[in-house]
Amino acid sequence: MTPKPNSSTTNGSRELGKLIMQLKRLERQPHTFGQAGTLSPSEIHTIDAIGIDSPVLMSELATRLGVTKGAITQIIQRLEGKSLVARAVHPEDARSTLLSLTSLGEEAYKTHLAVNHQFYDRLRSQLTQQEIAAFEKSLVILNDMLEP
């Protein structure tokens, strides 16, 4: 016999479904980031990951973003073509590649940070600090649950 969902399970499931659909829609929409121009979500999230801890090893970046080395190579090639990212040989290991942001990449990174700050300003206007902490913890749990 199938268990009957309670109202909070039904509401949560419905809201999660809506969130997934919104994220899918957003994933297809490029956005403009200052002089850096129009970037896809995967491009700006790659720039963000490099900007947080630059320079970064290409292999570490792939791990951090949860993608293959082949996928990160393709994204980096696009970002290099847009003059947003620079590659350099690691000074102690010639087999490793270090990635850093160019000045144009830095601008995209800072513009993206400003968007994130606006998002958190909106959250703070509607949620308490404890609710924001619970929201962030929920995101970590959801990400863990969705990992392959």
pLDDT digits (tens, 9 = 90+) for 63-114: 888 888 899 999 999 999 999 999 988 788 778 889 999 999 999 999 999 9
Q: What are 16-40's pLDDT values in tens digits?
A: 787 777 777 777 778 888 888 889 8
Q: Which residue in the block uniquely carries the two structure tokens 């990400």?
A: 143
| pLDDT for position 80 | 96
| pLDDT for position 2 | 55
Q: How much of the chain, in percent, has pLDDT values that exceed 70?
A: 93
Quote the longest CA-to-CA distance of the chain: 63
| pLDDT for position 3 | 56
> Does 5 score more than 60 pLDDT?
no
Which helix or strand (DSSP H or E) is residue 131 part of?
helix 129-146
Q: What are phi and psi of 39, to 5 degrees?
A: -130, 145
Name all domains of the chain by residue range, CATH numbers in brackets. 29-146 (1.10.10.10)
Here the tokens at position 109 are: 């990174």
